[in-house]
Copies of this chain bind each other. A is one copy, B any other.
């Protein structure tokens, strides 16, 4: 098998159980793919020098759900055996005392921690990741979970962890073309994950199949019982920010009723007047919580990027009181959204404003931040691969995570069936 690195975890595990694949073979295939590709893609900040030895120590018959499966970990998440630098010169030699619990759970399930992936500094601002989009390395893989998205999409590793505070999991998934979930807030421990904005920060999961997302969801205990109906009803929502969509993203959204017709009923849905402040509320919370999270950074001297000094100094002027009022208003919006969308099995919205831009910017979080602010689960479904990847996200009520993964699996084939006509390309 020459394409071992292309296996998803579910298939790889089945082959291992059948005695047709060993953990060592899979890890070697991933490392070979990285050796071939990462000079150009630059998804990784560090690789585990013991990975092959660790894989060799795992029997193919090991019954653990991730036995021998290589995973990538965004470098803002603590790992006990590899540096965790937050891609910041302030922490370039940092070695955590523990795995973050979200990593410990993977390791206990048998995963091989293959290495740490590149990220926007502190998953926030400052240094960009150096990671290129696998489909066109002159373009960004997005941010902040740049390396995790690219590593999975480019077949370096079947699974990876990212994080999302604005759009840091879903947008890179769209730019790179890979499934991903930003779960409902608060369901996966953020201990040992660099703090940025506490009521927004969420551990995100990357995989190359929805079976694999379901596997990871099971390990983390993501809730959401019940099967979606055979023919789901989906609300299509351009969000209040539709005028920021590039033509390719607009064309993709417009193509959905026809694409989905064989498998689902669709209706257009507009968020009610008053909810257009979601982006501003997100910004207020992110910047205010960020001020607390980054208050210590100015003490660390000359290597602190101005963006973090600005946050610590509340340079955008959001007060703590405004932050608390934003929490309350977001609580209203969450309930409004969940009531409004109760008749639907999910909402489908743009995952990004368009294709990955040229360069190494993180990209515009406008189509992600509103859902993150409401703490809702979001799943990226790839829908376009030519000329570049682009996807949509499924959004649902909080705690519907696992059901939403099943729904995504159900409709994904219809979504990816035929790329939409794109009359005009545009970088945003």
Contacts and interface: CB of A to CB of B under 8 A. Distances in A.
Contacts of A101: 293, 295-296
B292 A186 contact: yes
A350 B98 CA distance: 39
Task: Find the residue from A188, A291, A321, A375 having the highest chain B CB count within 10 A.
Answer: A321
Nearest to A398: B324
A319 B98 contact: no
A385 interface: no
Nearest to A196: B191
A20 B6 CA distance: 72
Question: Chain A: interface residue count, which band?
Answer: 35 or more
A218 B282 CA distance: 27
B335 A292 contact: no
Interface in A83-119: 91, 94-98, 101, 104-105, 108
A399 B321 contact: yes
B97 A321 contact: no
B199 A320 contact: no
A199 B327 CA distance: 12
Contact of A327 (B223, B288, B331): B331
A94 B198 CA distance: 25
Contacts of A108: 296, 299
Interface in A159-215: 184, 186-191, 194-195, 198-199
A289 interface: yes
Contacts of A324: 184, 334, 375, 398-399
The majority secondary structure among interface residues of chain A is loop
Task: Find the residue from A108, A220, A289, A328 having the highest chain B CB count within 10 A.
Answer: A328
Interface in A50-104: 91, 94-98, 101, 104
Contacts of A95: 97
Contact of A194 (B91, B94, B191, B295): B191
Nearest to A220: B295
A198 B223 contact: no
A260 interface: no
B97 A293 contact: no
Contacts of A334: 324, 328
Contacts of A291: 221
A292 B191 CA distance: 10
Contacts of A186: 198-199, 288-289, 292, 323
A296 B104 contact: yes
Contacts of A194: 191
A282 to B, nearest CB: 15
A223 B189 contact: no
A328 B320 contact: no
A319 B398 CA distance: 12
Contacts of A104: 296, 299
B105 A295 contact: yes
A320 B104 CA distance: 22
B198 A320 contact: no
A389 B327 CA distance: 37
Given A186-B198, A191-B194, 9 more contacts: A97-B97, A101-B296, A186-B199, A189-B293, A221-B292, A221-B295, A223-B321, A320-B398, A328-B334
Interface of A: 91, 94-98, 101, 104-105, 108, 184, 186-191, 194-195, 198-199, 220-221, 223, 288-289, 291-293, 295-296, 299, 319-321, 323-324, 327-328, 331-332, 334-335, 375, 398-399
9 contacts: A104-B296, A104-B299, A108-B299, A186-B198, A186-B199, A189-B195, A191-B293, A223-B321, A328-B335
Top 9 nearest A-B pairs (CB, nearest first) are A331-B331, A101-B296, A191-B195, A321-B399, A223-B320, A324-B398, A108-B299, A320-B399, A104-B296
